[in-house]
Amino acid sequence: MRDGFAAGAARPLNRLPAKITSPISVKPAIILFGSPGSGKGTQAKSLRQHLKIPHISTGDMLRAHIEAGDHVGNQARALLKSGKLVPDDLVNELVEIRIAEPDCRSGIILDGYPRTVNQAAVLLKLLGRDGFQTVVVHLIVDCEIIVARLSGRRQCPVCGTLYSLSTHPPKVAGVCDLDGATLVTRDDDRESVIRERLDQYKMQTRPLLNHFRDAGVSIFEINGGSASPEEITGQICDSLIFSGFIARQESISGASVSK
């Protein structure tokens, strides 16, 4: 662990995340790790805003292929509809191509990948080859909270905006605020599929933590179910600042972030 900062030792914060420019002296690969619905996507977008490095979501990449109706998309659609995961080789190839692009030279944020030990082994080799310093942020959320979160999600089929019936409902039930389209439930947000994905997560991806530890990767465990997204981002930033992965500046609220 960097600077003796152990996994699980992230200090809770109740403030806005830090305003951050660039990493100190490393090219970070921040892996947001956790079960489906743990908030990886939300935190990735927030961290991208503050760190100014790209957010790489394998889910977004696969959905783009699905919308395009190409061979990769048709294969992914059938697997996701049945609650199964896309094969490692296909996802690994998509990620390898993406992290070689010029905008990744200062660092990356990975969301939803890796999901298996095989993917993790391939990823660590790629990151080491390209000079990245890897850190895992593990978002921990109770599975019943996750089921409630995901089964209550609705998406606009036109603009892609996501809504939550409990925390971010549309102004008019069932209708997108932006374009008036009828909202839909994604195939992978049906409760039966959610529970199948959680079962697969427990069997396949929990061993990733041991793999990362064995590889000497820093791991920060964050409670992702009991605070606002902004507060969770603050906790993540504090962990990364303390460990030397990112620089410290004045916080958005005007209070400095302590080391």
Positions annotated as catalytic residues are 40, 115, 153, 186, 197
User: In this structure, what is the dihedral angle of CA atoms 194, 198, 203, 209, given to the nearest 10 degrees?
Assistant: 140
Q: Say if CB 213 and CB 2 are below 8 A apart.
A: no
Q: Say if CB 40 and CB 112 are below 8 A apart.
A: yes
Q: Say if CB 94 and CB 73 are below 8 A apart.
A: no
DSSP code for 104: G
Sheet holding 28-33, edge to edge: 55-57, 108-111, 28-33, 133-140, 218-223
Name residue, tokens 């809770």.
12
Supply 253's token pair.
Answer: 């609220």
Q: Rounded to whole angstroms, how far apart are CA atoms 138 and 118?
A: 18
Task: Label the pairing between strands 28-33 and 55-57.
Answer: unpaired
**Helix segments in the chain, DSSP class H:** 40-51, 58-68, 71-81, 88-99, 117-129, 143-151, 191-200, 207-214, 229-243
